[in-house]
């Protein structure tokens, strides 16, 4: 239904993880119009996630709070508009600039009637990537490529390698990146600091040349500093010291990533880094973990869905389970017996 030369605008105004989860749908749209053009509007603080992706022709800022959508050229019109999320103002803006708009049902009948196609949200749990693909699928665009997308530039990769070299006395082998914290409003997804420390101790004992970097924003700095103090010279903290793209470049240089369910975990998934990801029972890995990832271990909270709440402690994930997953990934990466 979409012409090969279609001019498309897509709105993906969300957090880091949710922005990455829409990349398979964006790639599918651009593939469907090889002679066309794809403009993507993203949150100003998350646009960096989508920079340098070959299937995006133009990237524009769009704020969910002020709806400060980047100015389009005068008289700009698009053949198709795709709007993810639940922000009705974004959908109205899409209707202003696009001939036909595809969006999820909003609950506002007057607004939904203006859409070219109203897409029903899944009635049963569905992987987040597949849910986002519902919009292009509604107009006949589909894909079998469900991998998340992110692109590290050669310059960023070189800078990350130089940064890692500056942290350690000798080149670490392996280099392990840990992400111990999610964001404050969903801190119940965090694995206990003591568990992460016990895991780090096992990794360092098993791999004498290993170096560990702690990633995260300013909220993770106390944890990062505590790790660095407990394991001097072996663990270095970059929490709060890097911007999004710098953190991603360090991630891309790692031999293994271990983290809780948060933005950098989606980044590691998009980069294809060997990874062990820990998921709370309210946010299952089977619905959020990267698809078609070549070296992924998903650790699910053991509580049943029916017994799960925010009070279900992540400490119920035992250290031995995580350690065994880490050893499998590192052994495969390093080509040594587990």
Please state the rounded mean pLDDT for residues 156-162.
Answer: 97
More confident residue, 21 or 338: 21
Residue pLDDT, tens place only, 80-131: 999 998 889 999 999 999 999 999 999 999 999 999 999 999 999 999 999 9
- Does any domain span residue 202? yes
Phi, psi dihedral angles at 20 (to 5 degrees): -65, -35
pLDDT exceeding 70 applies to what percent of the chain?
Answer: 95
Please tell me the predicted confidence (pLDDT) of residue 336: 75
Query: Is residue 73 over pLDDT 70?
Result: no
239 in the same domain as 106: no
Q: How confident is the model at residue 183 (pLDDT cuts 50, 70, 90)?
A: confident
Whether 310 is covered by a domain: the verdict is: yes
The pLDDT tens digits of the residues spanning 234-287 come to 999 999 999 999 999 999 999 999 999 999 999 999 999 999 999 999 999 999
- DSSP string over 264-302: HHHHHHHHT--EEEEE-TTS-HHHHSPTT-SSEEEEE-S
Residues 127 and 167 in one domain: no
Same domain, 275 and 170: yes
- Prediction pTM value: 0.93
State the residue range of the domain holding 299: 154-334
Q: Is residue 66 assigned to a domain?
A: yes
Residue 147 lies in a domain: no
Within a domain: 221: yes
Q: Is position 2 within any domain? A: no
Whether residues 125 and 248 fall in one domain: no
Q: What is the CATH number of the domain that holds 76?
A: 3.40.50.2000
pLDDT for 76 equals 58
Q: Do the domain assignments include residue 44?
A: yes
Q: Are strands 7-12 and 235-237 parallel, antiparallel or unpaired?
A: unpaired
Assess if residue 1 is contained within a domain. Answer: no
* Backbone φ and ψ of 157, nearest 5°: -65, -40
Distance between CA atoms of residues 119 and 43, nearest Å: 23
d(CA 301, CA 32): 39
Do 126 and 192 fall into the same domain? no
Same domain, 18 and 129: yes
CA–CA distance, 281 with 278 (Å, rounded to integer)? 10
Say if residue 133 is in the same domain as residue 212.
Answer: no
Q: Which residues sit opposite 37 in a β-bridge? A: 7
Beta-strand runs (E) in 96-190? 98-104, 117-119, 175-179
**What's the confidence (pLDDT) of residue 66?**
42
My answer on whether 124 and 207 are in the same domain is: no
DSSP 46: T
pLDDT, position 86: 85
Final residue before a domain boundary, out of 137, 167, 188? 137
Q: Are residues 229 and 277 in the same domain?
A: yes
Kindly report, residue by residue over 278-307, the tens digit of the pLDDT.
999 999 999 999 999 999 999 999 999 999
132 and 186 co-located in one domain? no
Number of domains in the chain: 2
Q: In terms of domains, do 48 and 184 share one?
A: no
**Do 169 and 245 have their domain in common?**
yes
């Amino acid at each position: 239904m979409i012409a090969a030369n279609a001019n498309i605008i897509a709105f993906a105004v969300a957090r880091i993880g949710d922005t990455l989860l829409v990349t398979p749908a964006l790639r599918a749209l651009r593939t469907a119009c090889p002679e066309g053009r794809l403009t993507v509007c993203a949150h100003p603080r998350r646009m960096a996630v989508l920079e340098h992706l070959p299937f995006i022709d133009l990237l524009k800022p769009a704020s969910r709070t002020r709806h400060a959508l980047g100015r389009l050229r005068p008289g700009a019109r698009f053949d198709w508009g795709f709007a993810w999320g639940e922000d009705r103002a974004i959908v109205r803006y899409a209707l202003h600039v696009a001939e036909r708009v595809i969006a999820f049902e909003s609950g506002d009948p007057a607004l939904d009637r203006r859409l070219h196609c109203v897409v029903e949200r899944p009635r049963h749990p569905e992987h987040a990537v597949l849910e986002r693909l519902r919009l292009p699928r509604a107009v006949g665009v589909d894909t079998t490529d469900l991998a998340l997308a992110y692109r590290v530039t050669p310059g960023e990769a070189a800078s990350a390698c130089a940064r890692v070299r500056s942290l350690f006395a000798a080149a670490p082998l392996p280099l392990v990146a840990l992400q111990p914290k999610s964001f404050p409003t969903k801190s119940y997804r965090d694995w206990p600091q003591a568990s992460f420390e016990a895991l780090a101790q096992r990794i360092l004992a098993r791999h004498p040349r290993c170096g560990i970097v702690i990633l995260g924003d300013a909220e993770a700095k106390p944890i990062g500093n505590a790790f660095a103090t407990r394991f001097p010279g072996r663990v270095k903290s970059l929490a709060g010291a890097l911007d999004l793209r710098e953190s991603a470049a360090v991630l891309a240089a790692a031999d293994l990533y271990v983290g809780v369910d948060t933005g950098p975990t989606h980044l590691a998934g998009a980069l294809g880094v060997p990874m062990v990801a820990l998921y709370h029972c309210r946010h299952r890995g089977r619905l959020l973990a990267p698809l078609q990832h070549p070296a992924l271990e998903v650790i699910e909270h053991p509580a049943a869905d029916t017994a799960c709440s925010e009070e279900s402690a992540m400490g119920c994930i035992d250290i031995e389970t995580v350690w065994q997953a880490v050893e499998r990934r590192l052994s495969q990466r390093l080509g040594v017996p587990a």
